[in-house]
Structure 1
Amino acid sequence: MTELHISWDDYHAKIEQLAVKVYQSQWEFNQILCLARGGLRIGDILSRIYNRPLAILSVSSYSGEEGNVRGELHFARSITMSTKQLGDRVLLVDDLVDSGVTLKETLVWLKQHPEYAIADVKTAVLWYKACSVIAPDFYVDYLSDSPWIHQPFGRYEQIKPEDLLP
């Protein structure tokens, strides 16, 4: 498996490139929903750029000592948001689509929760891997060789609090 190493500067540049792609599409949305954990930073920055409220749905599928073993998908019971209700035109944000299962199942989960009353949802990621079962609506890089991506915050998955002591 090939590997892709991303610096903080590259990471932030990719988020800005994603913001431009969404903008150039002229698609209007009134809410950003990010998938935690991978989509948190992206959702936060897009929320600031677009001045749209941010909502968070916690979803996890990776486990193991190094966080790289794909397992069963687990969803939070509800979406966390600071607005009274979720907007009806949602930009669903994550960092990448690897297998695509998380993104695909999140769209199913949203349809199963009519209390959110979503009329339109589009998906946005930084990296779209060829091995994905779903194509995102917006993405920055298509990765035909589906590499393992080392994101700049990944180092924190190896650090324990005591490692930070002087």
Structure 2
Amino acid sequence: MSLPPSTDRDLWVSWETYHGLIERLALQVYESGWSFDKILCLARGGVRVGDVLSRVFDLPLGILATSSYREAAGTVQGQLDIAQFITITRGTLDGRVLLVDDMVDTGLTFNRVREHLLSQFPDIIELRTAVLWLKGHAQMEPDYYIERLPTNPWIHQPFEDYDSLRPHQLESWIRKGIETAQPSRA
């Protein structure tokens, strides 16, 4: 399926581009020479990014759920909720931690989460941040990012198709995918 052209208002991202951005982010972090002990991703947007980084660096992945984009079908930022607990595979959140998300929009989430982590987990020695996209109106700059977006476009990520898919639609969704993948017989 072909994507619409990107504009100053809308950035359309394919799966191939999305994975390439994550790989470039991993390389950027690696080339910085910074040694870290754990990766903490913000759910939901940072989960895929954190998963790949955890695999590439062979480090434990923690997950912290946050939510602020709930209104107007997920397009308007509302009150920020930060989960009470972190899920992590080994130990607790300590040492040098890489905090990962898909983007910094306003910077509100990253700033609040950073404050929360440093107050709740005193054994964190150092906390750095990494994202794929940094929007132009952001109030903070992450330590690592791949693309700066000065016009603040809405980023249409490839997994957003699932936002409107419901279980009762799966059969036709799968059938449509199979039909699209088959070569036409002309």
TM-score (norm 1): 0.96
| 1:10-159 correspondence runs (5 A) | 10-114=17-121, 117-159=123-165
The answer to whether the Cα contact below 8 Å between 2:135 and 2:148 also exists between their aligned partners in 1 is: yes
The amino acid that maps onto 2:149 is L
The answer to whether the Cα contact below 8 Å between 2:71 and 2:78 also exists between their aligned partners in 1 is: no
The amino acid that maps onto 2:144 is F
Aligned length in residues? 165
Alpha-carbon distance between aligned partners in 1 of 2:98 and 2:91, rounded to the nearest angstrom: 18
Alpha-carbon distance between aligned partners in 2 of 1:160 and 1:66, rounded to the nearest angstrom: 15
Alpha-carbon distance between aligned partners in 1 of 2:94 and 2:15, rounded to the nearest angstrom: 31
The amino acid that maps onto 1:24 is E
- Structure 2 residue matching 1:112: 3-state secondary structure: helix
Q: Of the two, which has the highest radius of gyration?
A: 2
Alpha-carbon distance between aligned partners in 1 of 2:147 and 2:93, rounded to the nearest angstrom: 29
Q: Whose relative contact order is higher, 1 or 2, with alpha carbons under 8 Å and at least 6 apart?
A: 1
Match of 2:170 in 1: 164
Q: CA RMSD in A?
A: 1.1
TM-score (norm 2): 0.86
Structure 2: gaps (5+ residues) = 1-7, 173-186
Structure 1: gaps (5+ residues) = none
Shift of 1:99: 0.8
Query: Share of identical aligned residues, percent?
Result: 46
Shift of 1:165: 2.6
Instruction: Find 1:3's aligned residue among 7, 10, 13.
Output: 10
The amino acid that maps onto 1:32 is I
The amino acid that maps onto 1:46 is L
Shift of 1:65: 5.0
